[in-house]
Structure 1
Amino acid sequence: MAIDLGSYGLEVRTVRLNIISIVLGIGIGLYGHLGLFIHGEWHIQAPFIFLFHLILYSGLAAGTVASQYYGFDSKLWIAGLITSVSYLVTMLSSIFIYRVFFHRLTRAGFKGPFTMRVSKLFHVWSCRASGNHHLLGGLQKQYGDFIRTGPSEITIFHPDVFVATDGPRTECVKSEWYDLLFPESSLLTTRARDLHDARRRDWKECFGPQAQAHHFAKTVKHVEMLSDMIENQIEEANPSQMRDWFYWLGFDIMGDFVFSKSFNMLRDHEWHHMVIRLQRALSLLGPASPAPWLIQIAFRVAPRIGQIGDWFEMTSWTHKQISARLEAGGEKQSAPDLVHYLLEKSAEPRSAEGVRRMRGDSLNAIVAGSEPIPVVLLGIFAELARKPHHVELIYAELAERDITDTKVLSALPHLNAVIQEALRLYTVLPTAGSRKTGKNGVTIGGVFIPPYTTIVNPRYCIHRREDCFEQATEFIPERWTTRREMVRNVAAYSPWGTAHHSCIARVMAIDVLRITAAQLIKKYRFNLAPGETGHRVLEDMKDQLAPNPGHLALIFEKR
């Protein structure tokens, strides 16, 4: 039988080419993981990596199909496709094997859900419904205080975590999570320690005694508008929907603080369209925040529609406010708002870097300042409505006192204890704010955390530790005054952060909480509306960077 040597030789060359393609793909895949991606941080490059692979495989697949359809020689296209598939399969297999069997956290013996050890995508999927704070709380019951919740991530519930990661001697730095605003940045999201400290110094003048007095005077006006809304509801015999109103208060105050330009929601009795967009955007960012690289892909690759579009609409709005101030001669503005002080401190306010910083700082201030205020106020009034004897104790402190004096408010023990307890249970950062260990690692609670490991410190859960707070889930303000033995470990209490990473605006925020609670308690009595339990605030809360609490309906009456 005759053998077609030409055809046979062609088949041999094709097989040889395919084998070479597979071997080449395997080599590239191993190098891609072990020689490249296993080192350093890649979340910022995630959009480019995603697009590169998308274009590569789409091009090779299209070329292969087209060559066969038009009768061209398809061997090289097929070889390229085989190489690319071999590369991807090898690299993903290498990543899987390394994370499961050879990763430094595996060797150190840290336990956690198998799926989360493989990829943070499973974490994002798991917390989409119940929220990250509930998910992590459930994992703590199953695995203990040190849980591997990612390929290079440990979630730590031990009360020593705050000082270990943020204390004055720490080598820990902010994690990749803080690159949320990239390529812009803000004080909050600046990861480099020296640059963060320099920017924090620029902010300090905005929170000096004179500036604080001015901010407080503006805050009082907004609180009075809220009080007037409540009085109108009393006349109409309607329950007051406190969730909306406290959010309106928080955003109106922060708009005034940042731009001397309130959102005017208390005045107009409706949500500002930009605030609606921001909250819709946060509902997407919250569940995705465990995977910073996923947020980078969403922001820089995905179409700017839906919730992603909402985020960019909000950022564009803040950009326009900065541009308007600069065009109006913003550096000469006398209005002592945040932008005023940032312009004063900026050597070149109109430079690209100066504008970028002001944009990031203004957006940072609005989001970080507006979201915590309504959460804690809702917690305060939900708890006080269920336990009205605390209301009368505060009212007794307020009698015959000038509540528009911050020094007077700061000296009222029960009012401040109520606020302190609300900050414990209604945490302003339930799970956000992760850190990353340095080259020497860190020891927390006697457990060594290896170098370059992300550390999550879920305040929501740590603030509820029974070994740190007696009756930890109960609202008991006296634990901060007359029953201090109920605080078993004060290191577990960190509502505003620690040391140089503590919230720079915490004094201002506490002033807002004090004057709002004092004003409403001095003027009104209040109870839960029919059918209201006050539990929805926490039960319906969603963890989306800042917490998004449930509703609270109250019935007020004038004293």
Structure 2
Amino acid sequence: MASLTGAVLLQPLLLAIALHEFVLRRVEVDHLVLHGISICTAGFLILVQWIGFSDAFLLSTIFWGSLSIWTLLYRAFWHPLNLFPGPYGAKLSKWWTTKNTWTTRWHMHRVHQVLHSKYGDYVRTGPREISVYDPAAIGPILGLSSKSLKGPFYDIMEETLHMNRNQAFHKQRRRIWDNAMKNSLSDYAPRVEEFTDQLLNRLRNANGMPVLLLECCAHYSYDVMSDLAFGKPMGFIKGEQNDVAESILKTLSDGLDAMGLIYHVPWFMNAISVLTSIAGPLKAWRDWSVLSMSERLALETKRSDIVEHLINKTPKTPEGNELLYGESRLIISAGSETTATALTFILVQLATHPSVMHSVRKEYRESQATYSCQRSLPFLDAVIHESMRLWPSLFFLGQRVTPPEGLQLGSTFIPGNTIVQLQPFVIHRDPRSFVRPDEFIPERWTTRRELVLNKDAFFPFSTGPYDCVGKRLAYMEMRSVITKVVGEFDVCLPEDFKKEVYWGDVRDHITAAAPPDQEVMFLKLGASKP
């Protein structure tokens, strides 16, 4: 160690500063974590060979210590986003968000309400991140003419319609998806109704005894989406699921807490996604989906549904098959969780607002002669809108990155290459857009439209070129379940149910998470509680 002169000891410090100023400040490296670890490990081993372990360890310590200190100083004092207010810890590291997610027990949506109240519409919530609560910013950030691109979160998994940042690829693939939805939803609607009838049989067999609400809704949505993706349901509604299907659902459900923690640090997610693809429950999920899609590809009988259109428009190559494998997983994971949560929240709202449930039932009965889950029922759609306004399936929308020239939002200028995130949970409850924003008032979408001051501030499915491609299918499922359930049952909660406790228990993962242990009774109309 004595052989290292002052000049030599200065070199790792200068190298660290140069790396930060000429690379890390200018290049997005979230997707290069494993590459960086590999390069640094190789460099350290080479140093060990040249100068011995002790000296190599000393130089590495100086380098990493200098890089860390310089990075923190830059973020704290010289970063362009220092003009924006926000918690001090958030400007230093996104681990601030992860820590708060843990300490609040996955209630960051409530933290964001406090941040908005304390700091205003534009709050620095990360070293290069601004959380936006201004309804006027929705269009410029998400709209069709926006120059903002997807953020590093979309690099963490395989390439699909959703998980990619290539605009040209997305535009081409989205056109295929839109045409598939347009051409096949009418043919797929009877399948949706069949699964709803299976759900009704399950509720009838419960004979008014309590059932786990989220479980019922999840089983329904997973069966619908697996039938859509692979041509066969998982068998959850009928209780015919095999051990593999049970394991897959458990893996996806149990992993949500972890995903809610690390969602905010995409570089970490990117690193572990490589490891989870090698072994573990997510590998089992991938292997099962590949097998199921392979069987679907081999089907001789063609089905008229969305995936059949995707198959027909995807190259018959290994790369094309990988795309279909990834998108089959996207259909199930993204489509099932969000719809199950939305259905759960709507049914709880109906149970706690019996007059609203009776109005939905009346509307359904009056329109039964022309009923279709593809058609709008005004008051039912208003109930769906209002429930999703208060409790959207996604509390945080995906990251966007401002263009290099920056983004002017009214009087606020956001520098270029800044990650911006919109918060539907907060914006949907903004009194500038909705009168009495914390109250469940479905009529605000029908007969009391004066209670909606800014309709554009309602965006539970996002908006613009990256909005939810499955929105129409989700509405079909929700209309089918809600109309048929309330047409036959009263939805009742236990006598000790406290709505403040229930809604206070809703967590934010990547999707909103309803309390899993809430029981509900579905009583045949005219029957009394058992």
TM-score range, shorter chain: over 0.9
* RMSD, aligned α-carbons: 2.3
Cα distance in 1 for partners of 2:171, 2:89 equals 38
The question of 1:30 aligning with 2:3 is answered no
The match for 2:139 among 156, 163, 170 is 163
Q: Which residue of 2 aligns with 1:362?
A: 328
Cα distance in 2 for partners of 1:526, 1:406 equals 22
The question of 1:295 aligning with 2:266 is answered no
Cα distance in 2 for partners of 1:163, 1:138 equals 24
Distance 1:325 1:398, change over 3 A: closer
Deviation string 1:258-306 (CA, Å, 9 cap, x unpaired) is 111111100117772211111222321221011100101222257966x
Give the drift of 1:310. 2.5
Q: Which amino acid aligns with 2:281?
A: D
Cα distance in 2 for partners of 1:403, 1:101 equals 67
Q: Which residue of 1 aligns with 2:36?
A: 49
The match for 1:472 among 437, 443, 451 is 437
Q: Which residue of 1 aligns with 2:6?
A: 19
Report the 3-state secondary structure (helix = DSSP H, G, I; strand = E; otherwise coil) of the residue aligned with 2:440.
coil
Kept in 2, the 8 Å contact 1:540–1:550? The answer is yes
Kept in 2, the 8 Å contact 1:277–1:313? The answer is no
Report the 3-state secondary structure (helix = DSSP H, G, I; strand = E; otherwise coil) of the residue aligned with 1:29.
helix
Report the 3-state secondary structure (helix = DSSP H, G, I; strand = E; otherwise coil) of the residue aligned with 1:127.
helix
Q: Which residue of 2 aligns with 1:142?
A: 118
**Unaligned segments of structure 2, at least 5 residues:** 526-530
Q: Which residue of 2 aligns with 1:220?
A: 193
Question: Aligned runs of 1:166-177 on 2, under 5 Å?
Answer: 166-177=142-153
The question of 1:278 aligning with 2:252 is answered yes
Distance 1:167 1:518, change over 3 A: same
Cα distance in 2 for partners of 1:369, 1:199 equals 18
The question of 1:399 aligning with 2:365 is answered yes
Q: Which residue of 1 aligns with 2:81?
A: 105
Cα distance in 1 for partners of 2:201, 2:221 equals 16
TM-score normalized with structure 1 length: 0.88
Q: Which residue of 2 aligns with 1:8?
A: none
Cα distance in 2 for partners of 1:360, 1:508 equals 19
Q: Which residue of 2 aligns with 1:190?
A: 164
Q: Which amino acid aligns with 2:303?
A: A
The match for 2:212 among 238, 241, 266 is 241
Deviates more, 1:472-481 or 1:483-492: 483-492
Deviation string 1:171-230 (CA, Å, 9 cap, x unpaired) is 00111111121xx21111121222111000111232124x11222111101111111111
Question: Aligned runs of 1:336-375 on 2, under 5 Å?
Answer: 336-346=304-314, 348-349=315-316, 351-375=317-341
Report the 3-state secondary structure (helix = DSSP H, G, I; strand = E; otherwise coil) of the residue aligned with 1:473.
coil
Cα distance in 2 for partners of 1:337, 1:466 equals 42
The match for 1:439 among 404, 407, 418 is 404
Cα distance in 1 for partners of 2:259, 2:287 equals 17
Deviates more, 1:510-519 or 1:28-37: 28-37
Report the 3-state secondary structure (helix = DSSP H, G, I; strand = E; otherwise coil) of the residue aligned with 2:433.
coil
Q: Which residue of 2 aligns with 1:321?
A: 292
Kept in 2, the 8 Å contact 1:249–1:266? The answer is yes
Report the 3-state secondary structure (helix = DSSP H, G, I; strand = E; otherwise coil) of the residue aligned with 2:436.
coil
Q: Which residue of 2 aligns with 1:513?
A: 478
Report the 3-state secondary structure (helix = DSSP H, G, I; strand = E; otherwise coil) of the residue aligned with 2:368.
coil
Report the 3-state secondary structure (helix = DSSP H, G, I; strand = E; otherwise coil) of the residue aligned with 1:455.
strand
Q: Which amino acid aligns with 1:379?
A: F
Cα distance in 2 for partners of 1:17, 1:343 equals 63
Deviation string 1:385-444 (CA, Å, 9 cap, x unpaired) is 11111111112212253378437841x221111011111112011113121101121122
Q: Which residue of 2 aligns with 1:10?
A: none
Q: Which residue of 2 aligns with 1:68?
A: none
Q: Which residue of 1 aligns with 2:226?
A: 255
Kept in 2, the 8 Å contact 1:442–1:451? The answer is yes
Cα distance in 2 for partners of 1:260, 1:504 equals 20
Report the 3-state secondary structure (helix = DSSP H, G, I; strand = E; otherwise coil) of the residue aligned with 1:154.
strand
Distance 1:208 1:138, change over 3 A: same
Cα distance in 2 for partners of 1:302, 1:47 equals 14
TM-score normalized with structure 2 length: 0.92
Cα distance in 1 for partners of 2:162, 2:370 equals 30
State the identity %: 25
Give the drift of 1:19. 1.7
Kept in 1, the 8 Å contact 2:181–2:306? The answer is no
Q: Which residue of 2 aligns with 1:207?
A: 181
Kept in 1, the 8 Å contact 2:373–2:480? The answer is no
Q: Which residue of 2 aligns with 1:454?
A: 419
Q: Which residue of 2 aligns with 1:39?
A: 26
The question of 1:499 aligning with 2:464 is answered yes
Kept in 1, the 8 Å contact 2:373–2:476? The answer is no
Give the drift of 1:139. 2.1
Cα distance in 2 for partners of 1:408, 1:213 equals 8
Q: Which residue of 1 aligns with 2:528?
A: none
Cα distance in 2 for partners of 1:407, 1:120 equals 43
Give the drift of 1:491. 2.1
Kept in 2, the 8 Å contact 1:220–1:404? The answer is no
Give the drift of 1:535. 4.7
Deviation string 1:111-170 (CA, Å, 9 cap, x unpaired) is 111111111122212212233322322322322221111110000111122211111211
Distance 1:89 1:377, change over 3 A: same
Q: Which residue of 1 aligns with 2:92?
A: 118
Deviates more, 1:43-52 or 1:272-281: 43-52
The question of 1:527 aligning with 2:489 is answered no
Distance 1:17 1:407, change over 3 A: closer
Deviation string 1:503-530 (CA, Å, 9 cap, x unpaired) is 1111111111111100011111222123
Cα distance in 1 for partners of 2:107, 2:373 equals 38
